[in-house]
Chains A and B, each alone.
Chain A
Amino acid sequence: MAHGNDRSGFYRVKLILVGIIFVLGVYPWLAPPVYFISFAFNVLTYITLATSWNIIGGYTGYLSFGHVAFFGIGAYATAVLGARLDLGPALVILASLPAGVVSALVAVVIGYPCLRLRGPYFAVITLCFAFVTELTVRNLDFLGGADGLWIKGLAMPIETSRSIFFELMLVLTVVCLSSAHWIETSRFGAGLRAIREDEEVAQTMAINTPKLKIMAFAVSAFFPGVAGGIYACYLTYIHPDIVFDVNISILIVLMALFGGGASWVGPLVGATLLTFVNEGLSTFVKAEFARIIYGCLFIIVIIFMPNGIVEFLKNLIVKRRLRTKFVKNKSSQLLS
């Protein structure tokens, strides 16, 4: 009986999700102000980044604090590919796919030595990796150095071009979320969770932990790479300060943990909420105050909802349900 309920609930959720995606897809063509399209584009970018971070950070338990590097590498790889091959504006966008592959390859190379480290050591070394990447790009002339790089923009009104980029990012977000969901329910995901819980035990369970970790790291670097490519085309100009901004790295981690790292829903909710909060604060309050409020908010969540806001709400609902059941049983006992 419970099984049947699960199933119909599952289909309902699926239907709702498809509905949301459809509404989002139609939204930019309803001629909203450009600002709203850009904002929605940002939300989607952060959802993609947080979700892909969660594959290595949440499922596997390796907190990467340098994920912005993969975003930046994707952006630069796209720009360079576009310039070298002299691609037209539409083809440059496609270059973000190979750029994602470049990011994933970098992750394999970096992950091989770094994934031997655990906990804070891994966090620090990934942070360093991001800094080193940024400095390298800043000092290489063929990457534009400190001047940044220009990318050919689409020759059309800004509303239309932004709408197109929004649609592209929407596709990437949906693919990214589906991949995360697939990983969660697959053999691969089961192995990653075992690594998160106890890596030595995972090894005695015949799990090839080095290989799995590198695969997870590569997947979680691929999507930021593609996102970086789309972002670069969207901005038409990239600079180390923008696409290697360390704040992005930290924000991604906060978003995923805020929502909860155990499932794909966490980063989705966390990234959406925090982008709204961020935008609201920076519009209505001074930037300094905004940061303070932001920090406090995060402290509160970590202390009172250590498993993220999604788990917290879920437990709340379960508890309420149990309580009503208990009260019902009690009252029926009293009556009889």
Chain B
Amino acid sequence: MKIWGKAGYGVTGGALAILFLFPLLWSGYASLRTNSGFGLENYDRLFTSDNGIRLHHVVNSFTVSALTVGGTLVVATLGGYAFGRFRFPGRDALFLLTLAILMVPYATILIALYVLLGWLGLQDSLIGLSLVLIMFQLPFSLFMMRNSFEAVPRELEESAQVDGCNSFSTLLRIMLPAVRPGLITVGLFAFLASWNEFFAPLILLNSTDKFTTTLAVVNMRTASHGSIDYAALEAGVVFMAVPCLLLFAFMQRSYVRGFASGALKG
């Protein structure tokens, strides 16, 4: 637009970019800054202080993320294949019901999920938490996979069936490679959501040794009554953010694709 003259555009854009990047750069700086210069002391305290995080918290986080990504991929792939390629009774109702999850956010049903998981013997359990996270990922994932399957040319599938493949081996051998971009996007979203999730684990996990890293790092802040170890906290922030930033750097295309299709129509 003309009101942003060339210089105006450069100055405004540059200033805004600095404002947006500054907090990220600062947290990296603060996490490395020590009394005597720079070093990894803050990271050391992050992992060794009384309130700090432990290796099992990191393992818990990876477990929950792996279960959520794996579960979401399996359910959404089978579901996407069903909705994209088959007609069956209740098809439209189930699809609408799944999308309705978007309308009923988190906080309102987590209390009930807490009670429900107790009945199922999954209270304070990483599996229970993962099942809930998979459910919350379903609207986006199912939508994405249905569109991916619909976009695969029908001839591809038919030629496989002529060769004697049943529907499942067609799915495995022919369809899965064709919907790979969709799978990557769905997996990426499921990872980012489960790795960073705070509210669901806060409610569903009780014992500190079940905590995910996010919970454990936040616990360093909320469990401290006097002084907060800010430098170790920033080390925790960086530790949590690095996997996500790396994924972003390499998979931005997949992220934006998910966005463009999900945001416009979801």
Do A and B actually bind?
Answer: no
